[in-house]
Amino acid sequence: MGVLAFTLALAATTPPPMDMAPYFAGSLRIEQLGEVDRMAIRSDGRYLMLGQKIPRAEGRWWFEGDQFCVLPDPQAGVADQKVCMALEARKVGDSWTKTFGDQTVRFTLTADKLAF
């Protein structure tokens, strides 16, 4: 088993460090560089991202400590790299910003559910 496969298998058995129910019940609205993307997170460790540049991407999510990590499934036009960021307990309607380098991204936890 490769290191990444082992990490994903271990992460699947490690509970998140916070209540994820609001994230599972709704979706994230992500505003960056003049575009709006949507992300749904399922309790089985899968996510769906719908966006303007990349219309649809799916992958796996897990926690490494307090870091929420995603890794897209291999597909054309999607970078095959893990991305992690701190994620805090939120409720539907909360909005917050995070800065990545020189880019500020706005997140909103909405009640809208994306089915996949």
Question: Over the chain, what is the mean pLDDT?
Answer: 85
Contact by Cβ (8 Å): 23, 32: no
pLDDT digits (tens, 9 = 90+) for 64-114: 988 999 999 987 667 778 989 999 999 999 999 999 889 999 999 999 988
Domains of the chain: 3-110 (2.40.128)
pTM over 0.75, yes/no: yes
What's the pLDDT score for residue 17? 79
Q: Coil, strand, or helix at residue 5? A: helix
Q: Has residue 2 got a pLDDT over 90?
A: no
